[in-house]
C-alpha cells in the first residue's frame, strides 16, 4: 500500500473499500483505479470424517481479494485529524551533540544532548 501511494503521489496513508467510503458519505471519483488487497486467515475446525471420535481438528485457509481506494481518490470525506501522539512521533525532539565537558545534566524536555568523544589526533 505504501509503495502504491508513493508511486501514485497520494498524500494520504488512509485506504477504504468502496462500501466503506459510501457508508461514510463519500464518493469515489469517476475513473479512479483501485488497489487490490488480499485477506488471509487460517481457521481450524473439527475433523469431519465418519467414525472419527479422536477429536482431531484440521485447518484450512481463507484467501479473499478486496479492492481499496486511497482517501485522495474519494470526495466528501475529510481527512482525519492527526492525534497528538502521532504528531510527536513524526516530530521527535531535536538532538544535538555536545562535548563531554559541556554535557548538561538536565537538558530541556524538547532537546536531548548526546555526548561526543573528542577525536584523537
Same domain assignment for residues 70 and 13? yes
Same domain assignment for residues 56 and 89? no
Same domain assignment for residues 68 and 85? no
Domain that holds residue 53: 1-80
Of residues 20 and 81, more confidence is placed in 20
> Residues of the chain with pLDDT > 90: what percent?
40
Specify the number of domains making up the chain.
Answer: 2
pLDDT in the model for residue 79: 80
Same domain assignment for residues 2 and 39? yes
Q: The whole model's pTM is what? A: 0.57
Q: How far apart are CA 55 and CA 37, in angstroms?
A: 35
| Angstrom distances, CA of residue 54 to CA of 27, 43, 45, 59, 64 | 53, 19, 13, 16, 31
Same domain assignment for residues 46 and 61? yes
Same domain assignment for residues 21 and 62? yes
pLDDT in the model for residue 58: 85
Same domain assignment for residues 43 and 87? no
pLDDT in the model for residue 103: 47
pLDDT in the model for residue 110: 54
pLDDT in the model for residue 70: 93
Same domain assignment for residues 26 and 69? yes
pLDDT in tens, 53-79: 666 788 889 999 999 999 999 999 888
Amino acid at each position: 500500500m505504501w509503495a502504491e501511494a508513493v508511486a501514485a503521489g497520494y498524500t494520504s496513508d488512509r485506504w477504504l473499500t468502496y462500501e466503506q467510503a459510501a457508508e461514510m458519505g463519500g464518493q469515489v471519483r469517476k475513473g479512479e483505479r483501485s488497489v487490490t488487497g488480499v485477506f488471509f486467515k487460517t481457521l481450524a475446525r473439527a475433523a469431519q470424517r465418519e467414525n472419527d471420535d479422536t477429536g482431531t481438528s484440521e485447518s484450512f485457509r481463507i484467501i479473499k481479494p478486496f479492492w481499496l481506494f486511497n482517501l485522495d481518490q474519494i470526495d466528501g470525506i475529510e481527512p482525519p485529524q492527526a492525534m497528538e501522539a502521532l504528531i510527536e512521533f513524526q516530530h521527535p525532539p531535536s538532538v544535538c551533540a555536545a562535548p563531554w565537558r559541556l554535557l548538561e545534566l538536565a537538558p530541556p524536555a524538547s532537546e536531548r544532548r548526546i555526548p561526543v568523544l573528542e577525536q584523537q589526533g
